[in-house]
Amino acid sequence: MTSVIVVIATIMGCVIFTVDVTNGAAVRISCPPGWFFYRSHCYAVSKNPASWADAEYDCVSYGHGAHLASIMDDSEAAIIASHVSANQDAEGVWIGLHDPEKNGRWKWTDGSMFNYAAWKTGVPDNAKGKEFCVVLVTGSKYKKWNDVGCGPVRNYVCKFKP
């Protein structure tokens, strides 16, 4: 049995991910330290609170197509919620859903289709006409969403596809 391990690195020398191929069998992809892997994506839960715009900037600055996390279905929501719950007790955690034109048309920062929603009851409500960003709600164990103002600093979840 032969095994080939390919390591892809950034200019700075940080490991982005590894791929292990054994005789054409299953491929295992690993994420960088501090990130977790789920269904072909790497995720990181921040511990450095930022405004929504600064959080998106931090994710994008990581490179490799990273953005604030988009959530596509219940199972992805559950895995993200479990990692967020294990890492912090924050008052809401930023995800990549926002209303950039302020017209009620929600979009993911990574360009994914918005075809799954997990709003808590009664939202989005755009309270006071200033809620254009979305958080995972603490009281729902981070499984439901709420629209909120974009300025407060919060922890956040980044996502990229290796």
Confidence of residue 18 (pLDDT cuts 50, 70, 90): very low
Q: How far apart are CA 31 and CA 16, in angstroms?
A: 6
Q: Tell whether 54 and 104 lie within a shared domain.
A: yes
Confidence of residue 10 (pLDDT cuts 50, 70, 90): very low
pLDDT exceeds cutoff 60 at 44: yes
Q: How many domains does the chain have?
A: 2
Segment 30-48 mean pLDDT: 95
Instruction: Name 117's Cβ contacts closer than 8 Å, sequence gap at least 6.
Output: 106, 145
Q: Tell whether 139 and 63 lie within a shared domain.
A: yes
pLDDT exceeds cutoff 70 at 15: no
Question: Between the CA of residue 68 and those of 28, 39, 57, 59, what are the distances in Å?
Answer: 24, 17, 9, 6
Strands (E), 39-150: 41-45, 67-68, 93-98, 107-108, 133-136, 145-148
**Average pLDDT over all residues of the chain:** 86
Q: Tell whether 68 and 145 lie within a shared domain.
A: yes
List residues bridging with 45 in a β-sheet.
Answer: 157
Contact 156, 57 (CB under 8 A): no
Q: For residue 112, is it within any domain? A: yes
**CA 43 to mean position of chain CA atoms:** 6
Q: Tell whether 24 and 47 lie within a shared domain.
A: no
Q: Tell whether 20 and 45 lie within a shared domain.
A: no
* Residue range 68-95, pLDDT digits in tens: 999 999 999 999 999 999 876 668 999 9
**pLDDT at residue number 25:** 55
Confidence of residue 65 (pLDDT cuts 50, 70, 90): very high
Q: Tell whether 98 and 21 lie within a shared domain.
A: no
pLDDT exceeds cutoff 70 at 42: yes
Which residue range is the domain that position 85 belongs to?
40-160
Segment 94-117 mean pLDDT: 97
**pLDDT at residue number 87:** 72
Q: How far apart are CA 150 and CA 94, in angstroms?
A: 9
Q: For residue 35, is it within any domain? A: no
Q: Where residue 131 sits, what CATH number does that domain have? A: 3.10.100.10
Q: Tell whether 2 and 55 lie within a shared domain.
A: no
pLDDT exceeds cutoff 80 at 6: no
Provide the residue count of the chain: 162
Q: Tell whether 97 and 20 lie within a shared domain.
A: no
pTM score, two decimals?
0.83
Confidence of residue 53 (pLDDT cuts 50, 70, 90): very high
**pLDDT at residue number 133:** 99
Q: How far apart are CA 22 and CA 125, in angstroms?
A: 51
